[in-house]
Structure 1
Amino acid sequence: MKIDINCDMGESFGVYRLGEDEQIVQWISSANIACGFHAGDPSVMRAAVELCLRHDVAVGAHPGLPDRMGFGRREIKVSPEEVYDLMVYQIGALTGFVRAMGGRLHHVKPHGALYNMAARDRGLADAIVCSVIDCDDSLILYGLAGSELIRASEERGLSYAEEVFADRTYQKDGSLTPRSHPQAVIVSEVDAIKQSLHMASEGAVQALTGERILLRADTICVHGDGEHALSFAKKLHQALVQADIEVKAVGGDSDKE
């Protein structure tokens, strides 16, 4: 068995630091790098790409809504056409840095509110899939397991990875519990690792309301902006290895050409 551990990176901006990218990179297999809209800036993007290439971590674009104040986690009414443009713009920006440093982009994962909106809205999901295909049809799209993003990718023939979340609770329909809910985030590292191992080995998760939900786990997300993200990423990596689950990027390819 194998699973990818992905983590959001490159979310600092100017003199403001967020996350421990240089330490956490050793415990993950793929990274989603902010592309300047919800977080990040050109210098931070370059440094994050360079760091990932140096550690042989698969590089992914992490496009979000243009909402720095809300860190891209507030829903904004956008049309499929606007989403397409937002995605192409941001994927193109990160691709430029990756190619400039002799690498290649591995995947795309929408960020925050955009990710959750597209998980349930087929029109937005189709726009995202089209944008990825038009930028580079060899890319892998990371999307919530069982969501509209996955169904749209499958129908268009785009490679995809079904994503699960270590530290988030689930609703009975397979969606993530909204962050406005007091039990949206799993605070206990022990409980989060237990859920992660169950999803990776059993292909199932228990909803907040008790139902058992079947899902496919190709990649598991660790939030890099969490207070204990570094400690958790290390413990999760070690727990997976101890359970004989190999930690490896989806597709198994390095992002170095």
Structure 2
Amino acid sequence: MRKQQITLNCDMGESYGPWKMGDDEKIMPLIDMANIACGFHASDPKTMADTIQLAIQHNVKIGAHPSYPDIVGFGRRSLAMSSDEITYSVIYQVGALKAMCESFHSELSYIKPHGALYNDMIKDLTIFEAVVDAVSCFNLPLMMLSMPNIQTLLDIADRYEVPILFEAFADRAYLSDGSLAPRTVAGAILDDQDVIIEQIKKIVAGGNIRTLDGQSLTIEADTICVHGDNPQALRILRATRDALGGQR
């Protein structure tokens, strides 16, 4: 087993007006890091403020969760945007959440893109650099998927002096290249608690997990994510916390 502590992060504050997503009040006490939506795929100023206060109450680190401007598609659709448009969009969103945090005498700790933007930046160097350019404005770490063969991405981050937090996923299946299996593929979203716990234990131990396409993959991560919009999120988080020895 590893010596360093593995943290738990979760996508939070994804409600919008009267429309509710997730069970933030019950989930927040179980996590270490809250990825708070910034209004472009979900959330609104009141939801952002409420979620920040909830994180402060439970001593949870706050991260910005920016996305493509796609509230209708929940940020899960790739948009044709120029590098500048992506950079300024991320700065705009993170800046809003940062200001909201400061209004409650708190601070941002990291930035984690959401949905299609998250997936696209790993596959496209131009998009990755646009995101890193934005992140560098805030002197914060960028959270991204832990996967093999990403030295080129790390070189870009180093050039902008942006530190990286590597994450793995408790409730998602992987492909052999280290990417997440698309949500449209059967079996991409894990809901069997035993399967999830086994995957978590292997990730924490630095061992190999089984990919959806039948290969073996080694993942090393600083933090493990459970999606807040997963209907089983609360149950999965409790089981995950137990699997990590109850650390918090």
Please report the TM-score for the alignment, with normalisation by the length of structure 2.
0.93
Picking from 129, 132, 135, the partner of 1:129 is 132
In the other structure, the counterpart of 2:84 is: 81
Deviation at 1:211, TM superposition (A): 1.8
Picking from 58, 77, 82, the partner of 2:61 is 58
Deviation at 1:165, TM superposition (A): 0.7
What's the % identity of the aligned pairs?
39
In the other structure, the counterpart of 1:117 is: 120
Matches of 2:229 and 2:154, distance apart in 1: 25
Deviation at 1:150, TM superposition (A): 4.6
* Match status 1:70 vs 2:73: yes
Q: Is the 8 A contact 1:9 1:21 kept in 2?
A: yes
Deviation at 1:164, TM superposition (A): 0.6
My pick for the range that moved more, 73-82 or 57-66, is 73-82
Matches of 1:174 and 1:184, distance apart in 2: 13
Q: CA RMSD in A?
A: 1.5
Structure 2 residues not aligned, in runs of 5+: none
Deviation at 1:210, TM superposition (A): 2.2
Query: Aligned partner of 1:103: which letter?
Result: S
Please report the TM-score for the alignment, with normalisation by the length of structure 1.
0.90
Structure 1 residues not aligned, in runs of 5+: 248-257
Which contiguous aligned blocks of 4+ residues in structure 1 show a shift greater than 6 angstroms? none
Equivalences, count: 242
More relative contact order, 1 or 2 (CA 8 Å, 6+ apart):
1
Cα deviation code 1:177-217 (max 9, x no counterpart):
11111121112121011101111112432221222222221
In the other structure, the counterpart of 2:233 is: 229
Aligned to 1:64, the other structure's residue is in SS state coil
Query: For residues 1-257 of structure 1, what are the structure 2 equivalents within 5 Å?
Result: 1=3, 2-134=5-137, 136-137=138-139, 139-146=140-147, 147=150, 150-241=154-245, 246-247=247-248
Query: Aligned partner of 2:216: which letter?
Result: R
Matches of 1:75 and 1:114, distance apart in 2: 7
Query: Aligned partner of 2:61: which letter?
Result: A
Deviation at 1:156, TM superposition (A): 3.1
Matches of 1:132 and 1:164, distance apart in 2: 20
